Structure 1
Amino acid sequence: MNIYAEYFSENGINYRKTTIIQIGDSWEIIGSAILKNPGSAIPLDDEIEKDTLDQISGICPNSKPHYWKKFKADPTMRCLEKIFDGSYINSSKEISGIILLFNLHYIREADINKARNLFDKSSSTHTFPDMEEVKNLIKDKPVFIGWFDEHEKLKNENVKIFAADIFCHLTSDENSYLEKEFSQNQFYHPLYVGRLYNNKNFKNWPIYSTLQKFQQQFL
């Protein structure tokens, strides 16, 4: 698994925008995920080869090549891979390609209170995802939403608007795994899925049915 992300600083605030999770050697888009926040990971010192940057630029043409950095795969990304390959519903298949990862905000800060404070200090256009940009990048591939109730906890109007708009966009597809009413969805975070997986009752819970519906989008 290779991880690449747009990472840069503006006015003392660090941002991590679009993240590319590459599984195998392919650059075909498998799907996307929209989670809570970029966390607190910092980039590796490894330089990205030109051929790789060219591939990235083809996927994210509006990004700046020098912003892209390599990152180490974290537990959330490992769990996300298992959601996409069907491991959690005991229907594992080999996948090769990329998963695009977005978040409700792009400030590199996992602490929700600190993040909210930085919202007020940041005047950057990179603080929150751009709806049209995200729509263009996700194309017609499956999208997994795993932000739990962070859209409420962040107490930010930009976040609420984006969450509502992207939800409406995704549920306009009749094949979407999401329930049509926003409030009827749990938006399970990948780490939460991973923690519950070994519970003997896992198959009897709504989370299992949700993961099954998500897999059906690949059929």
Structure 2
Amino acid sequence: MALAGGSLRRMSLRDQALSVLREALVTGDLAPGEVYSAASLATGFGVSTSPVREAMLALVDEGLLEALPNRGFRVVSFTEQDFAEIFELRMMLEVPGVGRAAELGVGDRVERLSQLVDLIEKTAEERDLAGNLQADRDFHILLLEATGNRRLVDSVAVLRDQTRLHNLRSLTADGDLADSAAEHRPLLDAVLRGDRTLAEKLMRRHLSHIPGDWSKRGPDA
């Protein structure tokens, strides 16, 4: 099976396979309930099986795929309770995390954060869902890195990937993608001003869209 993303050439093959597979989860090219083999995906990428298998095992560790002995890997299907727990955890971790970043300052990350806000807005305008979600992920993870808490960053990264596990293409159809994108610049401004209270308020509002996004994922999610 060939997925969007082209051949794997730069960075380590394992890391690039991981990036392409994450995108495939978001776009629905890898669908919940279906079984995929590392060998067939590797053939589509034009690489050996090993780096693709390593990438898929990493996604197993993150709770996005499950390994099926002698069969391959299956995309995890989440229940409504799973979604509720993920949302609650993200509220518990990301809201105070962003507040802490505002309190401590983001150091030399200002330029990159500003570039990511520009990219989030640009990809939303172009209705590039995969590009937008990647830029969104990079922005929020980079913000949290300012806290200096590696375990917080790692935990949120996994939760954010689980949030995006299912196809969210409907976001591009009704303007929600643009509305969400527009919330990043005020958030960054609040963080850069060191306004913890406002940063937490804006982050809480930003995350409040998640249940609505999930409700649009459709009957096949």
TM more than 0.5: no
Higher strand share: 1
- Taking structure 2 as the reference length, the TM-score comes to 0.30
Mark the structure with the bigger radius of gyration.
Answer: 2
